[in-house]
Amino acid sequence: MGSDKLFGFWIDIRDEDKARYAVRMAGLPLLVLGANAAVLGLDLAVKAPEMPMAVPVFAVIAVVLVFVAFRMRAGRAAWVPLALLAILSFLAVELFSSLHLLRMLEPSQSFDMILLAKWVVPLFCLALAFSGFRGWLWLRRNGLPQG
């Protein structure tokens, strides 16, 4: 109640400064997600040579996410919709990868924990990026420039 932000990301947007701050802060989860996509792509390149198309897909998503993250950190609110599209694309590839691994490998308790760990970072980042989306909506609704 007294605080207008939760862990620095979920910001109560009441004015232009808060909306722009939310947009800038939403770039951080994208940077983390881009690094995560790069690591997952490298992991697939080494451990799963039978999925050759997944590696370039993860690489492209990683580059896009890092580029958009730096644009958003610079205060460019117009990138927010693309950021959400990129995150959702990453989640779709992650879902395909997880389902493919489930079919290839024998499920076990440790395997289930690995799949859960693969999903924690992307889902957490998606939740954090919604704050930036709310900032973008506020700027758009009030007719302010988005950078």
pLDDT number for residue 102: 73
Instruction: Give, in order, the Cα–Cα distances in Å from 44 to each of 10, 71, 112.
Output: 33, 28, 17
Residue ranges per domain, the chain? 10-141
* More confident call, 118 vs 132: 132
- Residue 18, judged by CB atoms within 10 A of its CB (0-12, 13-18, 19+), counts as middle
Q: How many CB atoms lie within 10 A of CB 126?
A: 16
pLDDT for 116 beyond 90:
no
| 53-64 pLDDT, tens digit each | 888 888 898 898
Instruction: Answer yes or no: pTM beyond 0.85.
Output: no
pLDDT number for residue 87: 78
